[in-house]
Structure formats: C-alpha cells, structure tokens
C-alpha cells in the first residue's frame, strides 16, 4: 500500500485500510469508486481530490483522525479506479462536468445514509467543494479548503497560457514543445486538439508534457518523485484530458460564480489553507474567497507552494480536521 511521502509520517495520522469499498452506479455508463475508512460511527467527511482527474491515494486518508472520523474517499468520473477510465480509447467526456460530479457526491451521501458531512477539498477539489456546498448548503457541516482554485479566466490564463512562465521559463519551454508556434496564442485549445487525437503518438506526449508542467510547479522545492508519478502515461492521459476538458469550459461556471455565490455558505465553519508561494493557484484567489467569507479562518503557510504534501500545508490541514473532529 502506498502510504504517502515519508516526510509526512510525523505530521499525519498512521496509514489505514478501508473497511468498505464500492462503486456508485452514477448513470451515463459511469461507475464511481468510493471507499470508507476510520470509524464507522465517527464524524463523516468526504475528501475531494484535485486535478480534475488526479484520483485519490491511500495517504489522503491520513489527514483525519481514524478514531473520530468516518472517512469517505471517491475517485471522480473517469479517473483513479472509476470506470470508464478516460485513458481508454473510447472514453466519452460528454458526461463528465462539474455538475455531474456534484450530483455524484450528493447521491453517494444519500446512499451511505449520511445526514451531514464535512467537505475537504484542495486545488480543483476546493472548486468542487465550493460548487457542492453552494448547491447543497444544508448538508455540509464544515469546509476545509486548500490551494483555492475557481477556474476564473485569469486564473487559467496565468498558469496555462503563459503567466507562470515568468517564474519557470525553463519548464515552460517543455510545456510549449508539443504545440506548433502558430498555435501558441491559445494553448488550452491547442492542447485540446492533441489530447483528443486517437493516435497515442500524438496524445501521449501531449498529456505527459501537460502533466509534467503542472507536477514540476506544485511544490516550493522540486519533488522528482511527484513529477515521475504524475507523468506515468496512463495517469497523465486521464489527468490531462479531464483537466483540459474542464478548463475549456471554464468549469461550466459563469465567470466568478464560486466567489460571487459564497454568501450562501457563510454560515458553514470554514478553514482556508493557502501556500504563500503557490504558483499553480496563486494566493489572489484565496484572498478573494476570504473576503467573500470573512468568518472563515484564513491560514497562509509562509514556506509552501501548492501541494498538500508540503509539511506546512499538511500541518495546517490536520489542525483544521482535528479542530472540527468533535
């Protein structure tokens, strides 16, 4: 079992195995993997992974006290253990949108007989957590959010169209490599064409370049193991295809929707954890969300970028779940 980065062993809870696993038959031919671990009679929490398309890992269970939490993980449509996997040649993304995922989460809550639950999400998972909570505010007991991302146009342009190249020009060159010069004014669209190409000689290198760019910038200091794991071909194809599909559509949100609608969730106890030097999802978005949710606890980690595996961020996330465990 992958237990997660070794440097987190003195920060997070010990590794655990699930006591129950299953597949949610979500319609549209989709089967969504879910699992439960920890205490079956504990406080329910659902973990929403990033990407979209990243899937869950066993170490994600370790943010929660297993004696006090009933821990629910799920792999969102098309990734992880969910089927059909988007790396498959005949994968169809028509039924993979934010609102399909929100409906899946709510169906899973009902199927598990959970009345209210804490929602924990980082990066894309923070956007999905906000979308879910704003749609179903009465079933969310608390929110723990990390690396805030809301898919506004300027957020996407910063990281995928050239803004972050000012900080990582060397890595940016590798991201540009699969795209002809004449197509580089609209990189998300240019990548969409290559990722949709049925020829593995076209879509695999594009997926690896897309994912390597992201993986290489997730942490304040380079993490070669993280880059290698995310650049594995099958995982990279699913990750890049789903991300690109969501970003082309702006998450199916109206511009600025998640922050504009945050008034609907001001009553929900919330912790926002943000790395000061986050290049993927810069602190400007977390600050905008904090202004919309002034009652939320806003934790800025001074020596971190984006990843939940960075020690300062991991400590802040565990502190938040421990605070809410009672």
Q: Do 262 and 244 lie in a common domain? A: no
**Is 122 contained in some domain?**
yes
Name all contacts of 165-174 with Cβ < 8 Å and 24+ positions apart: 167/279, 168/216, 168/217, 168/279, 171/212, 171/213, 171/216, 171/217, 172/213, 174/209, 174/212, 174/213
**Is 1 contained in some domain?**
no
Strands 140-146, 117-122: pairing kind: parallel
Residues with a catalytic annotation lie at 123, 278, 306
Q: Cβ(49)–Cβ(36) under 8 Å?
A: no
Tokens of 308: 């939940």
Q: What's the pLDDT at 2?
A: 53
Condensed to tens digits (0 to 9), the pLDDT of residues 63-105 reads 999 999 999 999 999 999 999 999 887 778 999 999 999 999 9
Q: What's the pLDDT at 1?
A: 47
Q: Do 220 and 239 lie in a common domain? A: yes
Condensed to tens digits (0 to 9), the pLDDT of residues 24-57 reads 999 999 999 999 999 999 999 999 999 999 999 9
Q: Do 225 and 172 lie in a common domain? A: yes
Condensed to tens digits (0 to 9), the pLDDT of residues 208-249 reads 999 999 999 999 998 999 999 999 998 899 999 999 999 999
Q: Do 109 and 130 lie in a common domain? A: yes
Q: Do 148 and 292 lie in a common domain? A: yes
User: What domain range includes position 277?
Assistant: 6-153+252-324
Residue 175 to residue 158: CA distance in whole angstroms:
14
| b/e map 229-245, b = 16+ CB within 10 Å | ebbeeebbbbbbbbbbb
Question: Peptide bond preceding 73: is omega within 30 degrees of 0, i.e. cis?
Answer: no
**Is 185 contained in some domain?**
yes
Q: Which of 249, 265, 300 is the last residue of a domain?
A: 249
- The CATH code of the domain that includes 297 is 3.40.50.1820
Q: Do 145 and 293 lie in a common domain? A: yes
Q: Do 238 and 257 lie in a common domain? A: no
Check whether 278 has a pLDDT greater than 80: yes
Q: What's the pLDDT at 7?
A: 86
CA distance between the termini of the chain: 29
Tally the domains of the chain: 2
Q: What's the pLDDT at 326?
A: 84
Condensed to tens digits (0 to 9), the pLDDT of residues 105-134 reads 999 999 999 999 999 999 999 999 999 999
Q: 0.95 cut: is pTM over it?
A: yes
């Amino acid at each position: 079992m992958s237990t997660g980065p070794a440097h987190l062993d003195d920060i997070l809870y010990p590794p655990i195995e699930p006591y129950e696993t299953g597949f949610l038959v979500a319609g549209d031919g989709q089967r969504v993997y879910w699992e439960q671990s920890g205490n079956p009679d504990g406080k329910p929490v659902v973990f929403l992974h990033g990407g979209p398309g990243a899937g869950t890992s066993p170490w994600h269970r370790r943010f929660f006290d297993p004696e006090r939490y009933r821990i629910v993980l799920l792999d969102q449509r098309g990734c992880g253990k969910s089927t059909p996997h988007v790396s498959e040649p005949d994968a169809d993304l028509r039924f993979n949108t934010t609102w399909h995922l929100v409906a899946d989460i709510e169906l899973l809550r009902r199927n598990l007989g959970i009345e209210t639950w804490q929602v924990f999400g980082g990066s894309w998972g923070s956007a999905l957590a906000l979308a879910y909570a704003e749609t179903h505010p009465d079933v969310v007991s608390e929110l723990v959010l990390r690396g805030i991302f809301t898919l506004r146009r300027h957020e996407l342009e910063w990281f995928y169209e050239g803004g972050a190249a000012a900080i990582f020009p060397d890595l940016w060159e590798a991201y540009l490599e699969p795209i002809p010069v004449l197509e580089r004014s609209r990189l998300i669209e240019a990548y969409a064409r290559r990722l949709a190409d049925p020829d593995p000689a076209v879509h695999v290198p594009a997926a690896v370049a897309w994912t390597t760019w992201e993986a290489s910038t997730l942490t304040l200091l380079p993490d070669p193991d993280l880059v290698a794991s995310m650049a594995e071909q099958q995982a990279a194809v699913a990750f890049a295809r789903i991300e690109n599909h969501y970003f082309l559509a702006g998450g199916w949100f109206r511009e600025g929707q998640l922050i504009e609608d945050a008034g609907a969730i001001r009553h929900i106890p919330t912790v926002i954890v943000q790395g000061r030097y986050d290049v993927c999802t810069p602190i400007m978005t977390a600050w905008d969300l904090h202004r919309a949710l002034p009652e939320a606890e806003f934790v800025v980690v001074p020596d971190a970028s984006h990843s939940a595996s960075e020690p300062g961020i991991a400590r802040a996330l565990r502190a938040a779940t421990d605070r809410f465990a009672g």
